[in-house]
Chains A and B, each alone.
Chain A
Amino acid sequence: MSQAQDVTLTESPLGGPLPTGTGVTLGDGTAKQYRSLWSNAWRQFRMHRLAVAGLVVIVFITVACFVGTMIYPRGIDDIDFLMTSASPSSTYPFGTDALGQDILARILWGGRISLSVGFLSALVAISVGTLVGASAGFFGGATDGFLMRLTDLFICLPQLPLLLLISFLYREKVYRWADAQFGDGNIGIFLLIILVIAVLNWMSTARLVRAEFLRLKEKEFVEAARSIGARQTTLMFKHILPNVLSQIIVAATLSVGAAIITESTLSFLGLGFPSDVPTWGRMLFEAQSYFQFYPYQALFPGMVIFLTVLSINYIGDGLRDALDPRKTR
């Protein structure tokens, strides 16, 4: 039994939310409290302390990166020649790098890119995976056969080598194209990295969604919808998909973390963003040569990556529990 089935059972025939869990007193037949699936999930989620802590950390890091850069007095390119490779102090909370640039400012600025790459590539990967999985599971037959062979092929692709290769080979070309198109070549690199990570990471979602679609399309509620003449797209997206949504959300959360690590790995190997874009991985790459002498230059960006990914993984774990009605306490 999987949760999706239970979700359908908790739907009231009138379409409204059914009372669940402790909200109902079966004895006297009066329901005291009604909760929708989502508010129930939120209530469950709050009980997972580490997941809540993760959410707080992620919100903090995101706000710091996107709003903090506007408040923080120093830019990423401000060079202080008298303070190269300085240790943390009141002026430079995280110290400075080999060029005398403020590490905190660079972490905040780089966080925008690392987080955006993580979120966007997870979004693309999950969308592609859902679309492929849903079509394969729903239509079956030759469509299923073709899409699943394609998925198998992508699973066998040598991911890391291809990632390095594509990034290395097409970086300059994309940079020049974006420079001409948008006036900023780094936008091109940004799009390239998001796309490459997404293209190599949609397969597990596709398999998950397909399996659920295969199971759910035989259910009575789908048959009922079909019998009243619902169109195929309505069946797919309005009737079946919502039942798979909770699993997709969990997969999406976890793949944000994985995408952030992948981007950092790429940048760490010197094959991600160019040196004027300080993503977290890039900062580690640059700190690598002197970290024996100036450990702060590597520790701070590394810690931020670690904290971000750890928080995301805990959020994913919390969501998995919260969205699974079987675990309702």
Chain B
Amino acid sequence: MGRYLIRRVIISMITLVCISMVVFFILAAAPGDPLSGFGSNPNVPAELRQRLREQMGIDDPVPVRYARWATQYVQGNWGISYTTRSDARDYVLGRLPITLKVVGGAYLISLLIALPVGIISAVKQYSLFDQVATTFAFLGFSLPTFFTGILFILIFSVKLHWFPFIYDDTVKGFWPNLKQMIMPMMVLALASTGSLTRFVRASMLEVVGQDYVRTARAKGLRERSVLILHAARNALIPVVTIIAIEAPAVVGGAVVTEQIFRIPGIGSALVQGVNEGDVPVVMAISFGYAILVVIFNIIADILYATLDPRIKFS
């Protein structure tokens, strides 16, 4: 286990280095200049502009710039945001909590729905419940988040006046905060619940036909303990790994949701950063996202092997 883990971490490190190179070179090869706006300003003397360029090392060859960026990134210096003029690290990390709250809440809701619904669907395959659940799952993963967002706002804010549709981060107190987070969380949850339910159902279906489930029934155990203790416990092993692997995708989905509800989180910082050519911020978020994916993949591997004794690390 230990040796496997070390190898896994080393491979992940190499992957991360490659990803950072890819992202960096896409940024570096792009037309345009981070100082173009600043540079075309006639009030800025040419001399100052030149000095700034040298200071920022804009004219250095790309590999040199990459090496400099990488060493600074590892040291925790993510550069200065071009637009907010503040430390990119503080800026990005400052926006993280809201995103985590919304995404975490949404994922939790999604799990709380998907697990029981998926299990019941599988146990009562082709029943009315299963058909309704299947229909909802299909609706869920066919609805793009930007459309559900707009629909929810139209229904719950414009018509019913239940929830505010523009996020206000100056709001104090638990209830008002929860109230304004409900819609974005529901939008995200709706998007991820469908596929998760289908996955739980498929995984459960695979298990309920197994011999050991029949044995458990033959022993005279109550149906509930057969399904929960014998079937579901095994069916949920692959589900747990999917939960870990899919978690970063939900963070990605937050980009659209944050844009619709004007939530000042990571996602809206990314869109803003991309639109304004704010390289340090974009780089920090994209790379941070890559790190998240890699970490969750390792977690999924470890979970899978610890939960299923048949799997041996090799």
Contact = CB atoms under 8 A, between A and B. Distances in A.
Q: Assign chain A's interface to a size class.
A: 35 or more
A298 interface: yes
A295 B154 contact: yes
A98 interface: no
B150 A305 contact: no
B23 A158 contact: yes
Contacts of B153: 291-292
B257 to A, nearest CB: 11
Interface stretch (A6-14, A102-110, A160-168): A160-168
B182 interface: no
A249 interface: no
B144 A261 contact: yes
DSSP class of B's interface residues: helix, strand, loop or mixed?
helix
A269 B26 contact: no
B32 A161 contact: no
Chain B contact-residue range equals 35 or more
A314 interface: yes
Interface stretch (A169-177, A211-219, A220-228): A169-177
Contacts of A157: 19, 22, 290
A46 B139 CA distance: 21
Nearest to A257: B142
Contacts of A295: 154, 158
A153 B150 contact: no
Contact of B274 (A158, A168, A172, A299): A168
A271 interface: yes
Contacts, number: 119
A169 B150 contact: no
A169 B256 contact: no
A264 to B, nearest CB: 6
A265 interface: yes
Contacts of B260: 288
B167 to A, nearest CB: 15
Interface in B13-60: 15-16, 18-19, 22-23, 26-27, 30-32
5 contacts: A156-B297, A158-B252, A173-B31, A302-B144, A309-B142
Interface of B: 15-16, 18-19, 22-23, 26-27, 30-32, 138-139, 141-147, 150-151, 153-154, 158, 252, 255-256, 259-260, 270-271, 274-275, 277, 282, 285-287, 289-290, 293-294, 297
Interface of A: 152-153, 155-162, 164-166, 168-170, 172-173, 257, 261, 264-265, 268-271, 281, 284, 288, 291-292, 295, 298-299, 302, 305-306, 309-310, 313-314, 317
